[in-house]
Amino acid sequence: MSNWDNMLQWEVVLPPSRPTEEELNRIVKEISHYDKKLPVAVLGSTPEFREILHRLNFSNIYIFEKSIDFYNQMSELLPGYASENEQFILGNWLETLPIYPRRFQFVLSDLTMGNLPYEDRYSFYDSIYSSLVPGGVFIDKVLAFDFPVPSLEDLFRKYEDLPINLRTINDFSSEVLFCSELVMEKQMVNSTQFYKIIREGNYSEKIKMFAEKAKMITPEGFIWYYGKSWDELSTDYLSKYSRVIIYPETEIKSPYCNRTKQFFCHKQ
């Protein structure tokens, strides 16, 4: 079981593992016209979302988070005023979201899918849909496995030719741990196991150094549920919404180029 209290160096995590400027601009454009006094929700403690909600003067913000320590860590990355007007809802999303039917104008989420075991996905997305008021929108980013999965050999060849810096360490974490053949084989990301495979494998010292540094971004002791094809998962995710707008990641330098999608799912 992942313990988010151990995610201690979030400030070194770079987009696209966090919301990108382009994604945030789309969100701002979408939500600016919503009533600033009515409830809105954030899944997790994403500081970028919390900051724009306060900047846009939303005054009834629900933060759904299972770790109060992680919430407090993320609050330290915000200006002092930016935790005002927040209602902190502690607990498992599967248990807390159903308490709030037809409550929120919109729900903001970034790469939350992988936190849910496959067998819980339907209940999770049904709870999000049910929590929206008519006309509400669920805004999310998903790592969708509908792309050619690179081999470790190809990825390691690429990183052998790159310098080791904060940008390339982030990219290594994104591509090797979350998008490679390791993920497809296991249908999950087990950070402890993946680091062990690299550490004990017949790989260069540079690749092993990349993996060691990547623990700043993706610590050991975490599990995410990725690797199943998007075709297999998309029905539970999308079926209830009357209108869905999709923005694939197209930034060529992004490790998630053509691998993530930002969804704007509108409830009728």
pLDDT at 7: 55
Residue pair 44/10 in contact (Cβ under 8 Å)? The answer is no
- Here the tokens at position 107 are 């729900």
Q: For residues 251 and 239, give the distance between their C-alpha atoms in angstroms, rounded to a whole number.
A: 28
What is the model's pTM?
0.95
Please spell the DSSP secondary structure of 130-156, one letter per residue.
HHEEEEEEEEEEEE-B-SPPPPHHHHH
Token pair of 218, please? 């993706």
Strands of 132-143's sheet, edge to edge?
86-90, 61-65, 40-43, 104-108, 132-143, 260-266, 243-248
CB atoms within 10 A of CB 144: 23
Parts of the chain with a pLDDT under 50: 1
Name the packing angle between helices 121-131 and 230-238 (round to 10°). Answer: 30
Interval 36-49: pLDDT, tens: 999 999 999 999 99
* 5: enclosing H helix or E strand: none
Query: Strand 132-143 to strand 86-90: parallel, antiparallel, or no bridges (unpaired)?
Result: unpaired
The reported pLDDT for the residue numbered 237 is 94
* pLDDT score of 9: 80
